[in-house]
Amino acid sequence: MILLVKVDFIDLKERSAKLIISDTKPSFVNALRRVMLADLPKLAIEDVIFYENTSPLFDEIIAHRLGMIPLPTDLKLLVPRDKCSCGGKGCANCTVRYTLSKEGPCTVYSGDLQPEKETWSVVDPNIPIVKLFEGQRLILEAEAILGRGRDHAKWQAVQAPAYKYYPKIEIDQSKLDEDAIKKCIEICPKKILVEKDGKLVVSDVEKCSLCKSCMEVCEEGAIKVSGDDTKFIFKFETDGSLKAKDALIESARILEEKYKDFLESLG
C-alpha cells in the first residue's frame, strides 16, 4: 500500500513551518501531529550527578530545569541508549555529557553547561537555572540521552503542531447588496473580506478561521464557508533542538514505519 500526499510549503524557517498537505484525510494529518508530539526522538538531560549544591534550590528542582533545556539533536550520530551496542552503559554513540561549575554571586544560565564537544552546546544559552548568592556553589555532571515525548515532556521537540481544513469560500454576488457587503467586511475577524469594484472578494483565503460569521449576517446562500476535508493547513514549531524541516522529515519517516508495521501485523 502506497500513500501519496502533496506537500506545499507556505513558510519554512529554522524553528517553525507552515505547509499545505493535500490529497489526504484528517486521519493522516492527525497521525502526523501525534507522531511529532509523542514519537519524534530528541536529546535531553536524563541523569545528573551533584558534587556540590548550596544554592536555594533542591537537587531535584535543578535536575528538572536542566532536563527542560533544549539541546541540539543529531539523529544521524546518536542512537537510543536501549538500542546501543554498549548495552545501556552510556557511550559516545548514545550519551552526551555536560559539566557545570559555578560559584556565587551570579545567575547560572543554560550556557554555563559545558559539553564534552562544542557541537553539543545548548541551543539557547540564556535560560536561567538558579541564582547563587555569595559563597554558594553549584558543581555537577549531566548525561543527555535520546528520548520521546510519550515518556516525558523534556523529550518533546515540537510544540503546538496543529492543522485546519483548507477554507473554501463561495460567494453569490447576486444576493449581496452594498449594505450586505459592508456587514460582511465589518464582521470578519480576520479582515480577509474586502470590496473590489463593487463586489465582495476574499483577499487571503488561507487566513480564514472558518468561523462562518459572514454567513450569519448575509442572506442565506449569499456566502458559503466550508473546509476541504482533503486539504489541510498544517503548522508547528520546534524548541530549536531540531530544525523544522528535519523534524518534519523524521516524523514522516516514523509514521511510514508505523504503517508498515501495521500492515505486516495483518499478515
**What is the tens place of the pLDDT at every residue in 106-155?**
999 999 999 999 999 999 999 999 999 999 999 999 999 999 999 999 99
* CA atoms 27, 233, 156, 14: torsion sign: positive
| pLDDT for position 108 | 97
Confidence bin at 104 (pLDDT 50/70/90): confident
Confidence bin at 10 (pLDDT 50/70/90): very high
Q: Is the pLDDT of residue 96 over 60?
A: yes
As a whole number of angstroms, the distance between CA 218 and CA 146 comes to 55
pTM of the model: 0.86
Class at the top of the CATH hierarchy for domain 42-155: mainly beta
Averaged pLDDT, 40-48? 95
Burial class of residue 57 (count of CB atoms within 10 Å of its CB; 0-12, 13-18, 19+): middle
List the grid coordinates of 36: 511529532
Burial class of residue 229 (count of CB atoms within 10 Å of its CB; 0-12, 13-18, 19+): exposed
Of residues 266 and 150, more confidently modeled = 150
Confidence bin at 64 (pLDDT 50/70/90): very high
Q: What is the pLDDT of residues 187-225, one digit of tens each?
A: 999 999 999 888 899 999 999 999 999 888 888 888 999
As a whole number of angstroms, the distance between CA 133 and CA 135 comes to 6
Cβ neighbours for 160, distance < 8 A, ≥ 6 positions apart: 236, 237
> Where in the chain are the domains?
6-39+160-234, 42-155
Confidence bin at 3 (pLDDT 50/70/90): low
Q: Is the pLDDT of residue 240 over 90?
A: yes
Q: Is the pLDDT of residue 1 over 60?
A: no
Instruction: Kindly report the backbone phi and psi dihedral angles of residue 17, in degrees, each rounded to the nearest multiple of 5, phi listed first.
Output: -150, 150
Q: What is the largest CA-CA distance in the chain?
A: 79
Class at the top of the CATH hierarchy for domain 6-39+160-234: alpha beta
Confidence bin at 90 (pLDDT 50/70/90): confident
| pLDDT for position 2 | 55
